Structure 1
Amino acid sequence: MSERRKLRSTAWFGGAGKNAFMYRSWMKNQGLPDDMFDGRPVIGICNTWSELTPCNAHLRNLADHVKRGVYEAGGMPVEFPVMSLGESNMRPTAMLFRNLASMDVEESIRSNPIDGVILLVGCDKTTPALLMGAASCNLPTIAVSGGPMLNGNFRGQTIGSGTHVWKFHEDVKAGRMSIEDFLAAEQGQSRSAGSCMTMGTASTMASMVEALGIGMPDNAAIPAVDSRRGVLAQLAGRRIVELVEQDVTMSRILTRAAFENAIRVNGAIGGSTNAVIHLIAIARRIGVDLDLGDWDRLGRNVPTIVDLMPSGRFLMEDFYYAGGLRTVMRMLDEAGLLNRDAETVAGGTIGEIVKDAPNYNTEVIRPLDRPLTENGGIAVLRGNLAPDGAVIKPSAATPKLMQHRGRAVVFESIEDYHARIDDPELDIDADCVMVLKNCGPRGYPGMAEVGNMALPAKLLKQGVSDMVRISDARMSGTAYGTVVLHTAPEAASGGTLALVRDGDLIELDVAGRRLELLVDDSELAARRKDWSPPPVPSGGGYQSLFVERVLQADQGCDFDFLVGRRDAGIPRHSH
């Protein structure tokens, strides 16, 4: 009984007073019997289901599995909706609304009679948004991902969501693929429920959930339509009730050690650069100081051993059959690269969970001595072009371009890029460095996934397959290439990127972690005097708030007023 007296929901439903009468009575119009209010834990199921978010359109069914587990463990499940962020449909970019969704989650949890939370997540930004919002409340929490789609297939060829869109589109521009074949590939790419089946941002963040210990074992890779995804959801429903009874809050799980594990796992799986921004934001919500230096230090010597698109050959379905993330973490543990004593929501430590994980396919999950990339992780670049840092994903880049000096070809905006990139008169060759400005957190606004700029058609027709590209934007986790992203400070805020002009020499040295604009300081100072901030394309309302209060990429792009824990507490009653 001592544990039950700690339940937040008792402040709503406990006792024989007027307020408790009203709270219980209103809830009973859903057909709930008296004993649902006898002090059992109330478990909120925070659901990002939406038919406008295709990756999450199956989460209503998954919620039923969670409810089954909650009931079995003696809890009371209550499902509630929050803003759903679909990367595939939302304009100008789902990232613009990540912080808004996190506010929805935080205040929905805090204001309601909830003792513990299951977060149903899937598409890219729903995972960080829900983790950020829940972290600020710090209740017992488990994240359950919706899982990836089945492997794509087009005319006998395995194709990956996102990755093959970029590839096929370039093939069309180069004349290697007809537009009819391009359009015919649509249905074959997305042939089941679930999120992108490449190691894009959705799969990366599902992997981060498991690596952080805030999700159940195998959360990362079970396909959305595999019955074992439902089993995982049901077990999570059972387990969240136990976490509430044991008062295991998020801050017990999301420790410094957990984030270090996640960074190393991201390197081993060839995870998305977007994880950098999201993990920094989540860490700062829960009170862990995480920065770009940690990403570079911890990930620098981690080999990429998962051979998945966009870096490699296979897809998430293959990854699950090979053993999934537990196998990867077991290998990292054996190499001394895992904080094995980190706690997990599943009970026990990460080390205990992964110790016996088998590897059923050494082509998909390679041995440490035969990696896909010797030094994976996310490389953090600094220099006068990125004083606060920029990032590149070595496993998705062309090795010969990792040290490169080239002439800048500058696009002042994404509209400028689209207007000129395929102009036959554009003065560009394969050695040039493509530079895109004003696509950062404030400049876009929302920091869209436009950093993996498609190459000029005339160069694609010459057989050029990659070039160095630099921007203050992000890129899809499904994309590839020698692409430098998240340049901070961004151009719209007066970063050095704003001062780059056509013809300037830029030097990229990934091994040396340098990104330099080879222009004299005196010339840059003169340019800065002539520079004025571009008009920020704010549409008023929420967008105005975003532009005014968003932090830069190196700080996680959160709102300055949302950083830190506020905990759930017990709000004042209204009656």
Structure 2
Amino acid sequence: MNSEKITKGIAAAPQRALLHALGLTEEEINKPLIGIVSSYNEIVPGHMNLDKIVAAVKQGVAMAGGTPIVFPAIAVCDGIAMGHQGMKYSLVTRELIADSTEAMAIAHAFDALVMIPNCDKNVPGLLMAAARVNIPTIFVSGGPMLAGTVNGKKISYSTVSEAVSRYGAGEIDAATLCDYENKACPTCGSCSGMFTANSMNCLTEVLGMGLKGNGTIPAVYSERIRLAKQAGMKIMELVEKDIRPRDILTEGAFYNALTIDMALGCSTNSMLHLPAIAHECGIELNLDKANEISAKTPTLCHLAPVGDHFIEELNEAGGVYAVINEINKLGLLHTGLLTCTGKTVAENISGCRIKDTNIIKTIEEPYSKTGGIAVLKGNIAPDGCVVKRSAVAEEMLCHKGTARVFDCEEDALTAINSGSIMSGDVVVIRYEGPKGGPGMREMLNPTSAIMGRGLGSTVALITDGRFSGATRGAAIGHVSPEAADGGNIALIENGDIIEINIPECTIQVLLSEEELDKRRRKWQPRQPRITTGYLKRYAKSVSSGCKGAVLN
């Protein structure tokens, strides 16, 4: 066992002395040492219940003959960080989580890991760490929040974001806004729609790193505690069989994840995280394949913010396994792959049927014959950009409009809220990429403002930042190359005409190459707006190429 370097032999006596100082008995020291990576904290609603998950995992590990030892991982609440400087720190925590977990796992010679994440960057960060460390690992998330209810209608966090703009436009009064505020997030858990956290927890199931229900069993259900105990017991089986993350995280597993991503209508942030996780496995995930996969994969779910259904309903309708089994009828999946259950994908999904076709559609009658995400290319984004096409109104799938250009989120938000953005405009927000922001902020506030003012079917938004999983409308993000690297998005001027064609996967500013070259010669690099601390070092690492390939 890996832990024998600190538990066996005369030379390990000093290490054993420190293990005894932890209160560990000789019997515990001689069992496999299982690291329990706890993302518990008291500031993130999705993580406030993880102490209970940790306790249940510890019980499961102990029951199956291991010694559970807890250490922490950080997590940022994207919703609380939204709309201020804190959002610049959100995406970069993914690398901090991966780096620190790798350091803890290797420094303390654990035999296996149970990862307990729940939110947006915490899940992919721990998946990246699992791939790097490559000792037997299983995931069990904290689970999704239940939806809120106002006047008999289910609502979520994104409802409140849009309500702020509706209040500013005079569409609702202060009492109604207060009602949304108090009832949108009624329990602990990751926000209740198919936002980034729940997208990544569901995709963890698809990748084979989490047990059935990992992405969908609500945080407040006792079933979630039972799942945690099962994960604790299952890790001992993975140790015995020496099944490691890179045995599971194969190229086929990532293409399965991309396929089910399309079927579920996951967050566009999955297009950032899946390549980063694959990169840690030595696999270069070619996102040019995304449109090819989307063309073959129907959208089976319309979960919030796209529709009026929530993760709790997906769970009752059969969960992720039911979606996988339905898509498998098309022959698009690699079902012979090993998973953390010790069984193959095919064995896992056998008998998993759709229980409610109002929540999970069949392949014969899908919401859409194509997938929920599209990668667009053109002279604005030669290396690509991403849109959640399932969240775009039919009339906005093809759009030509006048550019309204802003060099930061705040300026754009001011313009939208003041009423100066008109029907037909294309809002361009740039210098918000990994390097230029720095930190690649989410643009939920501007898109919510557009939707709240009733412009969702007439105004598009393009950015080299990214979008929250809670975003809906013609929001096109992750534009690459970013403005700070001299990408063509930096060359767009107010009044330019932009043409978006989502069915054809194209995005263009209607300028000649000669005009773009003329503007490029005049372009001057801008300094990142954060000049001290970790973000300054992070921006430099992106500039040097250390992390930019993974992020962009």
If the length of structure 1 is used for normalisation, what is the TM-score?
0.91
Residues 1:281 and 2:276 aligned together: yes
Cα deviation 1:199-249 (Å, max 9, x = unaligned): 000110001100000111111100011111111111111111111121111
Q: CA deviation at 1:391?
A: 0.8
Match of 1:87 in 2: 78
Residues 1:449 and 2:445 aligned together: no
Q: CA deviation at 1:330?
A: 0.5
Residues 1:44 and 2:39 aligned together: no
* CA 1:466–1:349: 2 relative to 1, 3 Å: farther
* CA 1:299–1:463: 2 relative to 1, 3 Å: closer
Query: Which aligned pairs between 1:105-504 and structure 2 lie closer than 5 A?
Result: 105-162=101-158, 164-424=159-419, 426=420, 428-450=421-443, 453-454=446-447, 465-504=457-496
The separation in 2 between residues aligned to 1:463 and 1:35, in whole angstroms, is 65
**Which secondary structure state, in structure 2, belongs to the residue aligned with residue 346 of structure 1?**
coil
> Retained in 1: the 8 A contact 2:112–2:136?
yes
* CA 1:554–1:212: 2 relative to 1, 3 Å: farther
* CA 1:423–1:176: 2 relative to 1, 3 Å: closer
> Retained in 2: the 8 A contact 1:151–1:315?
yes
**Which secondary structure state, in structure 2, belongs to the residue aligned with residue 421 of structure 1?**
helix
* RMSD, matched Cα: 1.9
**Which secondary structure state, in structure 2, belongs to the residue aligned with residue 185 of structure 1?**
helix
Decide which moves more: 322-331 or 238-247: 238-247
* CA 1:214–1:454: 2 relative to 1, 3 Å: closer
Runs of 5+ unmatched residues, structure 2: none
Cα deviation 1:347-387 (Å, max 9, x = unaligned): 11111111201222110111122222221232111111101
Match of 2:16 in 1: 24
Counterpart of 1:445, as a letter, is P
The separation in 1 between residues aligned to 2:19 and 2:415, in whole angstroms, is 59
> Retained in 2: the 8 A contact 1:44–1:78?
yes
The separation in 2 between residues aligned to 1:463 and 1:413, in whole angstroms, is 20
> Retained in 1: the 8 A contact 2:424–2:458?
no
Q: CA deviation at 1:552?
A: 9.9
The separation in 2 between residues aligned to 1:474 and 1:460, in whole angstroms, is 19
Counterpart of 2:127, as a letter, is L
**Which secondary structure state, in structure 2, belongs to the residue aligned with residue 46 of structure 1?**
strand
> Retained in 2: the 8 A contact 1:412–1:437?
yes
**Which secondary structure state, in structure 2, belongs to the residue aligned with residue 78 of structure 1?**
strand
Residues 1:525 and 2:520 aligned together: no
**Which secondary structure state, in structure 2, belongs to the residue aligned with residue 300 of structure 1?**
helix
Counterpart of 1:349, as a letter, is T
The separation in 2 between residues aligned to 1:545 and 1:447, in whole angstroms, is 14
Q: CA deviation at 1:455?
A: 7.2
**Which secondary structure state, in structure 1, belongs to the residue aligned with residue 503 of structure 2?**
coil
The separation in 1 between residues aligned to 2:383 and 2:276, in whole angstroms, is 16
Aligned residues: 545
* CA 1:315–1:456: 2 relative to 1, 3 Å: closer
> Retained in 1: the 8 A contact 2:188–2:219?
yes
Counterpart of 1:431, as a letter, is G
> Retained in 1: the 8 A contact 2:298–2:371?
yes
If the length of structure 2 is used for normalisation, what is the TM-score?
0.95
* CA 1:398–1:462: 2 relative to 1, 3 Å: closer
**Which secondary structure state, in structure 1, belongs to the residue aligned with residue 157 of structure 2?**
coil
> Retained in 1: the 8 A contact 2:206–2:260?
yes
Match of 1:565 in 2: none
**Which secondary structure state, in structure 2, belongs to the residue aligned with residue 92 of structure 1?**
helix
* CA 1:464–1:242: 2 relative to 1, 3 Å: closer
Q: CA deviation at 1:460?
A: 6.3
> Retained in 2: the 8 A contact 1:109–1:134?
no
Cα deviation 1:495-532 (Å, max 9, x = unaligned): 00000001101111112111111111121111111111
Q: CA deviation at 1:557?
A: 1.3
* CA 1:393–1:455: 2 relative to 1, 3 Å: closer
Q: CA deviation at 1:304?
A: 1.1
Counterpart of 1:250, as a letter, is P
The separation in 2 between residues aligned to 1:105 and 1:495, in whole angstroms, is 34
Counterpart of 1:509, as a letter, is N
Percent sequence identity over matched residues? 34
Cα deviation 1:380-417 (Å, max 9, x = unaligned): 11111101101111100011111111111111212321
The separation in 2 between residues aligned to 1:63 and 1:462, in whole angstroms, is 44
